[in-house]
């Protein structure tokens, strides 16, 4: 407990550290940078074992970003948190001077400190991006003993992602919804889902008001058709405009992403989105350890913490590697088409040029990169 409390405020004052990435890349942040690299006499394996035993204990069963960053606390320590700013100074000094706490908990403390005071991912150099990803991977390893792979792959040149949805084909099976949740490590408790499938009555047009997006009966239902919505990755995204801290932005390949660590949780973007594309972590997100997708991207499906926004990223961890998003892959009817809008030979381009396509709420000028079409 005391270890946990201290980790927020610790500075790196003469602590011996085993450098994992070679560089400490938080040059811009205010945290204690310039850690001395020194030889560490444990082997990696032994170190891991020790770290797990020493540091996590009962926390091992916990999930999500929570176990990485949040401090377990009772009501009394919650009050302490209220005056955290006053404690920072004292806490920092006490931890860094303490000789009792083990080396691994000091490493954790160091990582947490640097993570707390790192900059905005959007403005980071590639080296800094690698640095924070390394820290997050290491932190996860220290706390759970499990390895994850996290990518910080940037947008490729000459790529602009687009998506097309065939209304005639969708049968409403919702396989996409499940695949999305499994791929993107969404909170299981609140049953957060990025995708909504709207069951619409034939002959009523696209009447969302009367559509049901949470049906449970055999599908396709007689006299109905199905229309999926998710984040449309607008080219002129209102959510990005309104963010006060630029925690969300449009990448060069068209993906609208969120830096979960930079988000302050004001939910202005949520109010600004005309497409219900954004989700908020009202409480700490939890995913059973066995169900965690370990193939992660910093901007994609890595573990979130409570009080931050998240959204569909067209599975950035997959799409930037050349795979289709999980929803596209899971769709048994081929109603979902994904590809590079800049490639004249791509299938998505063929759809846009040869089918009668439309988008939702085009009059708002948001320029979604998500088209609907019919056979």
Residues 246-265 that bind other proteins (CB under 8 A): 246-247, 261-265
Here's the x/- map for other proteins, 278-297, by CB under 8 A: it reads as: -xxxxxx-------------
Restricting to residues 171-190, which ones interact with other proteins according to CB under 8 A?
A: 171-175, 177-178, 181, 190
Q: Alpha-carbon distance 98 to 43, whole Å? A: 24
Crossing angle between the packed helical segments 126-144 and 44-51, to the nearest 10 degrees: 60
What length does the chain have? 375
Which residues, in sequence order, are bridge partners of residue 212? 199
Q: Alpha-carbon distance 300 to 122, whole Å? A: 14
Per-residue tokens: 225: 């058709």
Of 54, 274, 293, 295, the residue at the interface with other proteins (CB under 8 A) is 274
Q: Alpha-carbon distance 102 to 96, whole Å? A: 11
Which helix (H) or strand (E) segment holds residue 227: the answer is strand 224-229
Of 50, 208, 293, 295, the residue at the interface with other proteins (CB under 8 A) is 208
Q: Between residues 40 and 349, which has the closer beta carbon with respect to other proteins?
A: 349
Restricting to residues 133-172, which ones interact with other proteins according to CB under 8 A?
A: 156-160, 162, 164, 166, 169, 171-172
Q: Alpha-carbon distance 161 to 348, whole Å? A: 9
Q: How many residues bind other proteins (CB under 8 A)?
A: 122
Per-residue tokens: 244: 């006060």
Report phi then psi at 238, rounded to 5. -65, -30
229 binds other proteins (CB under 8 A): yes
Q: Between residues 51 and 309, which has the closer beta carbon with respect to other proteins?
A: 309
Q: How far is the CB of 155 from other proteins (least distance, A)?
A: 10
Restricting to residues 15-44, which ones interact with other proteins according to CB under 8 A?
A: 30
Restricting to residues 309-368, which ones interact with other proteins according to CB under 8 A?
A: 309, 318-324, 328, 331-334, 337-352, 354-355, 364-368
Q: Which of the ranges 46-54, 140-148, 286-294, 300-308 carries the binding residues for other proteins, by CB under 8 A? A: 300-308
Per-residue tokens: 137: 């991977």
């Amino acid at each position: 407990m005391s270890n946990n409390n201290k980790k927020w405020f610790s500075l790196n004052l003469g602590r011996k550290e085993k450098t994992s990435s070679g560089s400490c890349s938080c040059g811009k942040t205010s945290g204690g940078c310039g850690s001395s690299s020194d030889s560490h006499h444990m082997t990696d394996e032994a170190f891991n074992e020790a770290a797990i035993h020493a540091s996590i204990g009962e926390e091992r069963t916990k999930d999500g970003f929570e176990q990485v960053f949040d401090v377990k606390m009772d009501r009394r320590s919650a009050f302490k948190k209220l005056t955290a700013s006053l404690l920072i100074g004292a806490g920092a000094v006490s931890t860094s001077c303490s000789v009792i706490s083990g080396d691994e908990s000091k490493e954790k403390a160091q990582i947490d400190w640097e993570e707390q005071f790192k900059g905005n991912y959007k403005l980071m150099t590639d080296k800094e991006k690698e640095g924070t990803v390394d820290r997050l991977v290491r932190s996860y390893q220290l706390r759970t003993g499990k390895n994850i792979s996290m990518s910080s792959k940037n947008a490729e040149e000459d790529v602009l992602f687009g998506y097309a949805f065939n209304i005639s084909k969708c049968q409403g099976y919702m396989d996409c919804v499940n695949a999305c949740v499994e791929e993107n490590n969404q909170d299981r408790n609140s049953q957060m889902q990025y995708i909504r499938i709207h069951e619409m009555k034939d002959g009523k047009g696209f009447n969302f008001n009367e559509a049901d997006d949470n049906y449970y009966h055999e599908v396709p239902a007689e006299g109905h058709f199905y229309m999926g919505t998710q984040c449309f990755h607008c080219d002129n995204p209102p959510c990005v405009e309104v963010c006060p801290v630029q925690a969300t932005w449009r990448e060069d390949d068209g993906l609208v992403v969120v830096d979960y660590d930079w988000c302050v949780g004001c939910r202005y973007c949520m109010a600004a989105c005309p497409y219900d594309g954004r989700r908020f972590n009202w409480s700490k997100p939890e995913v059973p350890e066995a169900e965690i997708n370990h193939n992660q991207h910093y901007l994609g499906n890595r573990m979130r913490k409570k009080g931050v926004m998240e959204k569909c990223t067209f599975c950035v961890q997959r799409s930037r590697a050349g795979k289709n998003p999980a929803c596209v892959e899971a769709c048994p009817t081929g109603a979902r088409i994904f590809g590079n809008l800049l490639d004249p030979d791509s299938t998505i381009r063929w759809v846009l040029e040869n089918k009668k396509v439309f988008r939702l709420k085009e009059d708002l000028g948001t320029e979604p990169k998500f088209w609907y079409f019919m056979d």
